[in-house]
Amino acid sequence: MHVLRLNCKDKPGIVAAVATALASHQCNIEESSQFNDPYSGQFFMRVVFTPLEQTSLESYVGALPEIASRLEMRWEVCDLAEPLRTLIMVSKADHCLVDLLYRQRTQTLPLAITGIVSNHPDLKHLADDASIPFHHLPVTKDTKGEQEAALREMIERTGTELILLARYMQVLSTQVSNDYAGRIINIHHSFLPGFKGAKPYHQAYERGVKMIGATAHFASEDLDEGPIISQRVERVDHTYTPDKMQQLGRDTESDVLARAVKLYCERRIFLHGQRTIIL
């Protein structure tokens, strides 16, 4: 199956034009969803379709530039059968990485993991067990530019499409965040910006919080403030110790990150300013 993603200024006839073009090129629509943002006037559409043969796909894709010009739309066609080439970045916490490796191994997430990058050597054994290249790229204030140059080379050389910050405890430079905008997903606990720094769960315990959770979002110049993709919260009470909160937090982070990755793999996420449209 393939997916067509498009967005343009809303106007009559967009859905009809897309459906007619697919039908006339012997492509069968499997799923279709669309959204008109009433505030910006922008129209978003995602169509999953199956070409009856390869020539059907080629002729349809060949016809899209004319349709796009007429409707002034941005578009792309992706093959959903192709695993997404993904680089995972980690530090010392292993819960998100272990979860992603399990989901990739069991084909719950269609990922082709191009490598695991870490500023610490602690999780190398997990990469070795999965036969995935591990790259130890330590970083200090003085070596940050050199480290990110090595990271860029790796991304380009491996054809990486998606970068996951799976509890990577370093702030990416503005340049890297901007150059790969919409391709870097970060995960963090729900206490930001309230409880920053070390031991956020201990801070939460002392304040008697009643809800904890996690947010997956695109990385931006402000690391923890990019467009949100997925969130989840869990209720806690006075019986939850900091350790128990942290255990629940790990499970929540792993689940929320996996959801965000699945949405990305299925090409459901559209960036729209500082927010996302998910179809």
| Burial class (CB within 10 angstroms; exposed 0-12, middle 13-18, buried 19+) of 4 | buried
Are the C-beta atoms of residues 170 and 92 closer than 8 Å to each other?
Answer: no
> Which residues touch 238 (CB under 8 Å, ≥6 apart)?
208
Active-site position among 224, 237, 243, 251:
224
Half-sphere exposure for 267 (CA within 13 Å, toward CB): 25
Q: In 3-state terms, what secondary structure has residue 210?
A: coil
Tokens 């890297």, residue located: 176
Beta bridge partners of 3: 48, 78
From 140, 102, 136, 105, select the one nearest 121 (Cα to Cα): 136
Cα-based distances in Å from 75 to 64, 67, 78, 271: 8, 10, 10, 13
- Whether 224 is catalytic: yes
Cα-based distances in Å from 266 to 5, 20, 60, 78, 171: 11, 23, 20, 9, 27
Pairing of strands 134-136, 111-118: parallel
The set of catalytic residues is: 224
